[in-house]
Amino acid sequence: MVPVSHGYHVVEDRSFRAESKDESDSDPDSVVVQREQVGELEVWFFGVFNARIGDIVTKNMQSHLFDKKPEESQLRRKTKEAMRKAHVGARGKMREKAEKEKGKVGGSGGSASAIVINGEKLVMANMGGYRAVVCRDGVIRMPKVRIFVRESGAAVGADKENPKSSAEIGVGDESIDFDTEFVILASAGIWEVMKHQEAVNLIRHIEDPQEAAECLAKEALTRMSKSNISCLVIRFE
């Protein structure tokens, strides 16, 4: 079992930036860290969500997975499906709310989530411009994800380095081994001003995940990011 440590940082003061045209960026992001014990398995749920998502994904994960008290073998099999249901459900609720409030579909919102099972398995989900990135032996690794939802009209080959152009929901999983150093969950405010490998290079030498998260946020501020800035770093030792 690989121990897990984590740290996060959310920029709440928006006075330094130009007014955003995206209403989903009008309020600060939220970060969720939750630990569950399922039999002999230690399960961690991590998430970075913008204001439109709120706690929708977290509540859906609770109802689709943890409240059902699955057996250990079921948990390993059903985690990815639970992540899919949680994010698709959140997207649907956001669209319904936007239609009621404005009579039309509003902003898409965004989130990046990860579940760590016993320090051995990693399940990740992305929605909107938020991204989950894995560092293995100093090299960026984008997990292979299956696309479940894509906004109508979105390009099939959306630019992975321009998160604002991507509106899909993707869920993927992979094993955690000794080459797995850390995971970054971050908002579009991080990825719109730095490439994925840049972010990894910036914080790889920082052993404290809290300091690493703060470093990423400060760098995004320095580069004048105009979207919500939030990030969570999960380090494996």
pLDDT at 139: 95
pLDDT at 193: 97
pLDDT at 185: 97
pLDDT at 130: 93
Structure tokens at 170: 């993707």
For residue range 23-69, list pLDDT tens digits in order: 555 678 999 999 988 888 899 999 999 877 878 888 888 888 888 88
Domains of the chain are: 4-236 (3.60.40.10)
Backbone angles phi, psi at 13, to 5 degrees: -85, 115
**Rounded CA separation 191/197 (Å):** 10
For the chain, which ranges sit under pLDDT 50?
Answer: 18, 21, 105-106, 152-166
Q: Model pTM?
A: 0.86
pLDDT at 165: 41
Residue 2 burial by CB count (10 A; 0-12/13-18/19+): exposed, middle or buried?
Answer: middle
pLDDT at 157: 37
Radius of gyration for the alpha carbons in the chain, expressed in angstroms and rounded: 17
**Rounded CA separation 162/44 (Å):** 29
pLDDT at 108: 58
pLDDT at 154: 43
Find all residues with CB under 8 Å of 83, minimum gap 6, and list them.
Answer: 61, 113, 115, 123, 124, 125, 171
